[in-house]
Amino acid sequence: MRNQQATQLLSELSRPGRTAVTWPACDVPEQPIEDLIPGNYLSDKALQLPELTEGEVVRHYTNLSTKNMSVDTHYYPLGSCTMKYNPKRNERLASLPGIVDLHPYQDESTIQGMLQLLFELQGIFSEISGLPACSLQPAAGAHGELTALMVAAKYFKSIGEDRKVVLAPDSSHGTNPASAQMAGFKAVSIKSDPAGGVDMEDFRAKLTDDIAVLMITNPSTLGLFEKNIREIADAVHEKGGLIYLDGANMNAILGITRPGDFGADMMHYNPHKTFSGPHGGGGPGAGPICVTDKLEPFLPSPVVVKDGESYKLNFDRPESIGRVRSFFGNVGVLVRAYCYILSHGPVGLRGVSENAVLNANYLLSQVKHFLPVPRGERCMHEFVASASKLKQERGITAMDIGKRLLDYGFHAPTVYFPLTIQEAIMIEPTETESKETLDAFVQTLFRITEEDAELLHDAPHSTPISRPNEVQAARSPCLRADFCST
């Protein structure tokens, strides 16, 4: 029998007179509300809020939460998202009173510990990337992209050059051309070659004298390391352009190679993907960027500097692009990344990447026998399989497979991205999953490919909602459940 307290709306559970608290008597003289708030701001009638006990509210939301999938409860093979398990020690350490009780308006002399942490983190990110200057301000990976391109624009302006073209491979994240457009550049796509790398002929044809930046994800969204990256970087630099490294896939190369060493001038990190931090949900994120020395003057202000034996926020940056985030960014997320990095150390971080690559190649070796992998027998941290043959022969799509996996307790992989692969199924196991979990996933995936097509077309069968109209849900969200008709 379904738990009604998990499926009913709070307004349906409401009963007049129920309350979760007993308010004390007012200890100040009471005044009419009209004397305190102007009448034009007052509602004509009382809000129809549900009346519930504390137990009913807690039970409702706790039961509702069990209907969600999460990294703590399910395996997430979500390609390009690196849904690794976040160690709980980092959450605990980031919640210590000496951290969460700080206020950004406190005098710098009272937050020396936090400033030291952030200063050290700037240096750590620079060392891992091979790029000497760092800003922790950006609030997400895409925000880091935009910030880096704003830095690039300011740099070109400072040397009197009006460059407008940003090149990006056709397998890149959609945020790349979007960030370029928002920063005032013109985005131009580069084709992929048959092996999944940059098509060098197309690249050379589009590499003109007005090139500003080449944005490249390496390893790519296909899970491949760009073998021509040094040649590409040299060619862009020869034209006076800059290389931007989309750091979304840094989880594959920690301690093995550094973007600055293979030609990048700037990059961003996704701390939740490469290190540790909350995954998604619309909450706070971080997208720190690292750049070369010549771009350092243009980084957002302030940055943390060491002055003798103390630390301070340096606002004296006349060439800076200015703030891109209030205060100093989402510090709580940065603290989690700091704890993760110190817990692992240099050798441990390299082990993270080695295990991520090992897990991905193991999965590829098992999956390719029933789902073709068009680009490569080997991969880095992820790979892209294709359901194109299944669709042609039996009408089974990548969406069908992803939806059916939910019935077996697995989150769906990323589907239909990158766009260069027909019926793409993008799988990234991360380093935190066991061989037993990976084997169970492969067995389930194979079983699904053998199931009846009609069964798959209607999947999932075990969730409260099966296949909502996702476009309508995004464009016309119903945010007040009590008044939704469907």
**Which CATH number characterizes residue 275's domain?**
3.40.640.10
Are residue 258 and residue 130 in the same domain, yes or no? yes
Lowest mean pLDDT among 64-78, 238-252, 309-323: 64-78
Looking at the structure of the chain, the number of domains it has is 3
Among residues 141, 93, 83, 94, the alpha carbon closest in space to that of 286 is found at 141
Whether residue 78 is contained in a domain is answered as no
Same domain, 437 and 314: no
Give the residue with greater pLDDT, 31 vs 3: 31
Residue 284 has pLDDT above 90, yes or no: no
Task: Say whether pLDDT at 484 is over 80.
Answer: no
Tell me: do 135 and 261 sit in the same domain: yes
Tell me: do 232 and 331 sit in the same domain: yes
Write down which residue in 313, 344, 375 finishes a domain: 344
12: in domain: yes
Q: Is residue 235 part of a domain?
A: yes
Question: 10 Å Cβ neighbour count for 195?
Answer: 13
Judged on CB neighbours under 10 Å (0-12, 13-18, 19+), 397 is buried
Q: Are 288 and 370 in a shared domain?
A: no
* 477 is a domain residue: no
User: What is the Cα–Cα distance from 86 to 186, expressed in whole angstroms?
Assistant: 38
Gyration radius of the chain over CA positions: 26
DSSP string for residues in 87-104 = PHHHHHHHT-HHHHT--T
Q: Does residue 479 lie in a domain region? A: no
Give the residue-averaged pLDDT of 233-237. Answer: 98
Instruction: Provide the 3-class DSSP secondary structure of residue 205.
Output: helix
Domain containing 47 equals 4-64
Does residue 105 belong to any structural domain of this protein?
A: yes
* 403 shares its domain with 278: no
Phi, psi dihedral angles at 11 (to 5 degrees): -65, -30
Average pLDDT, the chain: 93
Is the distance from CB of 334 to CB of 342 less than 8 angstroms? Answer: no
- Chain segment 344-398, per-residue pLDDT in tens: 999 999 999 999 999 999 999 999 999 999 998 899 999 999 999 999 999 999 9
Examine the domain organization and report whether 414 and 366 are in the same domain: yes
pLDDT band at residue 1 using 50, 70 and 90 as cut-offs: very low
Query: Could you say which of 49, 64, 79 is where a domain stops?
Result: 64
For residue 101, the Cα-to-chain-centroid distance in whole angstroms is 26
Q: What is the CATH number of the domain that holds 382?
A: 3.90.1150.10
CB atoms within 10 A of CB 459: 22
**Same domain, yes or no, for 321 and 364?**
no
Provide the pLDDT for residue 317. 96
Based on the domain organization, do 23 and 131 belong to the same domain?
A: no
pLDDT at residue 486 in the model: 42
Q: What is the pTM of this model?
A: 0.90
Out of 344, 366, 398, a domain closes at: 344
| Tokens 């359901």 -> residue | 387
Largest CA distance in the chain: 80
Residues 334 and 374 both lie in one domain = no
3-state helix, strand, coil in the chain (%, to 5): 40, 10, 45
- In 3-state terms, what secondary structure has residue 22? coil
User: Which pLDDT value is given to residue 279?
Assistant: 81
How far apart, in whole angstroms, are the C-alpha atoms of residue 449 and residue 425?
A: 13
Would 243 be classed as within a structural domain?
Answer: yes
Q: Is 311 exposed, middle or buried (0-12, 13-18, 19+ CB in 10 A)?
A: buried
Residue 23 has pLDDT above 90, yes or no: no
Tell me: do 96 and 239 sit in the same domain. Answer: yes
Q: Is the pLDDT of residue 328 over 70?
A: yes
Output the DSSP codes for 264-296. -SEEE--HHHHS----STT------EEE-GGGG
Contact 233, 263 (CB under 8 A): yes
Token pair, residue 307, equals 């002055």
Tokens 């070109």: give the residue: 156
Q: In this structure, is residue 482 part of a structural domain?
A: no
* Residue pLDDT, tens place only, 434-477: 999 999 999 999 999 999 999 999 999 999 888 888 889 889 88
Among the residue ranges 29-38, 91-100, 276-285, 338-347, the one predicted with the least confidence is 276-285
112 and 244 share one domain: yes
How far apart are the C-alpha atoms of 62 and 85, rounded to whole Å?
Answer: 21
Q: Residue 46's pLDDT is what?
A: 82
Phi then psi for residue 61, to 5 deg, are -75, -35
